[in-house]
């Protein structure tokens, strides 16, 4: 039989109301000695707070859900850590769902989280989208979105990384080093951040009066294996001296391909990644990349969503600027 507040009150010789105040952390008018005794006794007796019963009274379960496309990608792991730390600081628990970049799985978890009556959901959308499926989905809780152009009705909060200026900065760094044919290895997705990065790539070229050439654009999945296989199959167009990759995983694939082909990095080819994940710091050479403030993104998403849950809804969207981190995978074009 489970332990009740009445059992604890009897053991401590206090009222049930006093026990309730202590266990629900509304005990400002309770003495320190009684508070410590109640907490110690409840722990010794194995008492577990009935969150479901409590939520029926308060309409708040103190839980959030977070959906990530691929938890193996360190970029998403950092977002989760930021969100989790902010949630815990605010007294909330976080349920993590990995969607494997599949819209069906994303919607399945969305429905399950609503069934669990979480107070809010953070969505980092899967690469695979289906507008019709999204538009008819009724989301009954507050939710926040990172970056992407999802079509779920009623989004409360959005945190957006400045992808356009991030990629523009990458090109503006490479061009003064003498790179004139810069290959852009983009990711396969219909999400808006990819369009923004392509705009940034084009603007960077324009800043240096470099012509845009569609032959210098290719798309693969956002993975080490996909980018490496693309280069194994197709190689690079003649004259390319630098590559901007869609994320750090893709840049790792480029590094592996270059190593297999005895292409020296950065002497023969410069590489810029995107995300500044842990992968950028453990590669050889370490990777020049764009820092997207992934941890800060998760922190902000949770913070803004919690403010909405508590009734403060002044801020709808926040733009996070990226920054170039220069390491050993880039250098000036060699002259012969």
Q: Where exactly are the structural domains of the chain? A: 5-49, 59-162+294-322, 163-292
Report whether pLDDT(43) > 90. Answer: no
pLDDT the model gives residue 49: 67
What pLDDT digit, counting tens, does each position of 55-89 carry?
Answer: 545 567 899 999 999 988 889 999 999 999 999 99
3-state helix, strand, coil in the chain (%, to 5): 45, 15, 40
Percent of the chain at pLDDT exceeding 70: 95
What is the CATH T-level fold of the domain 59-162+294-322, as seen in this structure? Rossmann fold (3.40.50)
Report whether pLDDT(179) > 50. Answer: yes
* Domain 163-292 in this protein, CATH class: alpha beta
- How far is it, in rounded angstroms, from Cα 152 to Cα 147? 14
pLDDT the model gives residue 189: 82
* Largest separation between any pair of C-alpha atoms in the chain: 89
What pLDDT digit, counting tens, does each position of 226-259 carry?
Answer: 999 999 999 999 999 999 999 999 999 999 999 9
Lowest-confidence region among 93-102, 150-159, 215-224, 275-284: 150-159
Arithmetic mean of pLDDT, 211-219: 96
Q: Identify each DSSP E strand in 234-308 by its residue range.
A: 242-245, 270-272, 289-291
pLDDT the model gives residue 211: 94
* 27 contact partners, CB below 8 Å, separation of at least 6: 18, 21, 35
CB atoms within 10 A of CB 311: 6
Tokens standing for residue 284: 């050889």
pLDDT the model gives residue 250: 95
DSSP, collapsed to helix, strand or coil, labels residue 63 as: strand
Global pTM?
0.80
Percent of the chain at pLDDT exceeding 90: 63
pLDDT the model gives residue 174: 98
Residues facing 121 on adjacent strands? 65, 143
Predicted confidence band at 137 (pLDDT cuts at 50, 70, 90)?
A: confident
pLDDT the model gives residue 136: 87
Predicted confidence band at 54 (pLDDT cuts at 50, 70, 90)?
A: low
pLDDT the model gives residue 56: 47
Arithmetic mean of pLDDT, 287-309: 94
Arithmetic mean of pLDDT, 286-290: 97
What pLDDT digit, counting tens, does each position of 80-97 carry?
Answer: 999 999 999 999 999 999
């Amino acid at each position: 039989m489970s332990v009740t507040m009445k059992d604890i009150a009897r053991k401590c010789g206090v009222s049930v109301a006093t026990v309730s105040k202590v266990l629900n952390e509304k005990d400002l008018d309770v003495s320190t000695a009684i508070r410590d005794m109640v907490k110690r006794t409840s722990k010794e007796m194995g008492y577990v707070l009935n969150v479901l019963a409590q939520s029926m009274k308060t309409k708040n379960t103190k839980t959030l859900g977070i959906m990530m496309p691929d938890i193996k990608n360190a970029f998403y792991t950092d977002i989760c850590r930021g969100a989790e730390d902010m949630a815990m600081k605010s007294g909330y628990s976080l349920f993590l769902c990995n969607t494997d970049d599949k819209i069906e799985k994303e919607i399945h978890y969305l429905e399950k989280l609503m069934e669990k009556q979480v107070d809010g959901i953070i969505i980092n959308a899967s690469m695979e989208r289906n507008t019709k499926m999204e538009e008819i989905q009724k989301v009954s809780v507050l939710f926040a979105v990172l970056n992407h152009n999802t079509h779920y009705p009623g989004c409360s909060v959005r945190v957006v990384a400045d992808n356009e200026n991030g990629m523009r900065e990458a090109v503006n760094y490479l061009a003064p080093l003498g790179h004139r044919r810069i290959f852009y290895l983009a990711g396969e997705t219909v999400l808006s951040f990819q369009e923004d990065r392509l705009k940034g790539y084009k603007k960077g070229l324009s800043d240096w009066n470099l012509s845009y050439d569609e032959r210098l654009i290719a798309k693969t999945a956002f993975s080490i294996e996909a980018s490496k296989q693309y280069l194994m199959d197709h190689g690079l167009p003649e004259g390319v001296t630098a590559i901007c990759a869609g994320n750090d995983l893709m840049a790792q694939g480029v590094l592996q391909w270059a190593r297999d082909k005895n292409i020296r990095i950065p002497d023969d080819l410069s590489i810029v990644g995107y995300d500044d994940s842990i992968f950028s710091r453990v590669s050889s050479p370490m990777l020049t990349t764009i820092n997207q403030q992934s941890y800060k993104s998760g922190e902000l998403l949770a913070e803004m969503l919690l403010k909405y849950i508590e009734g403060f809804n002044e801020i709808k969207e926040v733009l996070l600027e990226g920054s170039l981190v220069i390491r050993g995978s880039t250098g000036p074009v060699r002259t012969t």
